[in-house]
């Protein structure tokens, strides 16, 4: 099956511009964030990223000038996995921007602790992330950043001509071209936000269901690239189609289109972090 170059083969995430400002906040790893092996799940990482974004906006005037943002893509590089218990430090800054969107980098560092359930010392955890955020108005239409927001964010980076380019294969293969049958992922009403959109973390819950069958993908450092193509609203039937190829898993989250057609709502690629 031919496909475009996936996101996992793109280069390492760029580091912070020397001397630039960043936002920092701390969180705790909770038992609700981890799987049966105490690994912090991908959906929990997505929630950390949502929390630090909300906290960052509240710490600035963006809540008044630029309050509405949507995520188009998130890259998660799990370099040293997080486990419970741990204290997490999140550092957030702008890695690139244009007049309507930004690449926001978040570095997550976990200082692991021990308890009776996890008594062995573990190395400091490290997860590097980058998210493509689009500034929108109340109608959800991409809009120019305010002068104040552009001034603050542009001071953090020298890349001021950010353009969108898809990293994942958007077209799903036909069912007869692959070995694994489609499966339905049942959505719950608790998966949706106040705007009646599927929460970003809920997409990755469907991916965690797949990773149970591919534990080798998360045993070492790994990259996850998720691109959100269409909003999913309450009552939507979600279908999962996936292909495992060597050390990479590609997942398409499908939903009904017109007639019997299924359209792609999101794409996810999981594989090794590029050197």
Say if residue 85 is preceded by a cis peptide, omega within 30 of 0. yes
Instruction: Find where tokens 């299924």 sit.
Output: 262
Give the confidence band of 274 by pLDDT, cuts at 50, 70, 90: confident
DSSP label of 133 = E
What is the spatial distance between Cα 133 and Cα 75, in angstroms, rounded to a whole number? Answer: 12
Structure tokens at 66: 């630029």
**Residue range 113-137, pLDDT digits in tens:** 999 999 999 999 999 999 999 999 9
pLDDT, average across residues 6-32: 89
Q: Where are the domains of the chain?
A: 23-155, 183-272
Crossing angle of helices 42-58 and 200-211, rounded to 10°: 160
Q: What is the mean pLDDT of residues 11-33?
A: 96
Q: Locate 12 and state its tokens.
A: 């390492």
88 Cα distance to chain centroid: 17
Q: What's the pLDDT band for 8 if we cut at 50, 70, 90?
A: low
- Tens of pLDDT, residues 147-196: 999 999 999 999 999 999 999 999 999 999 999 999 999 999 999 999 89
Least confident range from 97-101, 209-213, 240-244, 257-261: namely: 257-261
pLDDT tens, residue by residue, 82-114: 999 999 999 999 999 999 999 999 999 999 999
Cβ pair 66, 149 in contact under 8 A: yes
Mean pLDDT of 261-266: 96
Q: How confident is the model at residue 259 (pLDDT cuts 50, 70, 90)?
A: confident
- In whole angstroms, give the CA distance from residue 15 to residue 230: 30
The three-state secondary structure class of 51 is: helix
Task: Give domain 23-155's CATH superfamily.
Answer: Hotdog Thioesterase (3.10.129.10)
pLDDT at 4 over 60: no
Which pLDDT band, with edges at 50, 70 and 90, does 5 fall under?
very low
Same fold, 23-155 and 183-272: yes
pLDDT at site 3: 39
- Residue 162 phi, psi dihedral angles, 5° rounding: -65, 135
Q: Are 45 and 137 in contact (CB under 8 A)?
A: no
- pLDDT of 9 reads 59
Per-residue pLDDT band at 2 (split at 50, 70, 90): very low
CATH of 183-272 among 3.40.50.800, 3.50.50.60, 3.40.50.300, 3.10.129.10: 3.10.129.10
- Other beta carbons less than 10 A from residue 35's beta carbon: 16
Strands, DSSP E only, in the chain?
A: 23-28, 69-80, 86-97, 101-112, 125-135, 183-185, 222-228, 238-245, 248-256, 262-271
Min mean pLDDT across 5-9, 30-34, 64-68 is at 5-9
**pLDDT tens column, 23-40:** 999 999 999 999 999 999
Distances (CA, A) of 150 to 62, 99, 100, 145: 11, 7, 9, 6
């Amino acid at each position: 099956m031919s496909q475009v170059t996936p996101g996992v083969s793109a280069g390492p995430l760029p580091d912070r511009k020397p001397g630039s400002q960043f936002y920092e906040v701390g969180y705790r790893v909770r038992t609700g964030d981890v799987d049966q092996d105490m690994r912090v799940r991908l959906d929990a990482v997505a929630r950390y990223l949502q929390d630090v974004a909300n906290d960052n906006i509240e710490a600035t005037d963006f809540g008044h000038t630029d309050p509405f943002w949507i995520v188009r893509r998130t890259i998660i590089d799990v370099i040293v996995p997080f486990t419970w218990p741990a204290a997490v430090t999140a550092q957030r800054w702008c890695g690139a921007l244009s007049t309507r969107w930004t690449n926001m980098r978040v570095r997550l560092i976990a200082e692991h602790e021990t308890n009776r359930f996890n008594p062995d010392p573990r190395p400091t955890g490290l997860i590097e992330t980058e998210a493509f955020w689009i500034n929108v108005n109340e109608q959800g239409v991409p809009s120019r950043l305010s002068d104040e927001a552009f001034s603050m964010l542009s001071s953090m980076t020298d890349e001021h001509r950010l353009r969108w380019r898809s990293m994942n294969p958007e077209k799903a293969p036909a069912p007869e071209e692959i070995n694994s049958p489609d499966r339905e992922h049942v959505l719950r009403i608790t998966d949706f936000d106040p705007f009646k959109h599927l929460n970003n973390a809920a997409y990755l819950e469907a991916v965690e269901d797949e990773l149970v069958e591919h534990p080798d993908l998360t045993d070492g450092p790994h990259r996850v690239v998720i691109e959100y193509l269409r909003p999913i609203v309450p009552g939507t039937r979600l279908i999962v189609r996936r292909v495992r190829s060597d050390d990479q898993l590609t997942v398409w989250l499908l939903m009904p289109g017109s007639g019997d057609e299924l359209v792609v709502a999101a794409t996810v690629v999981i594989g090794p972090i590029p050197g």
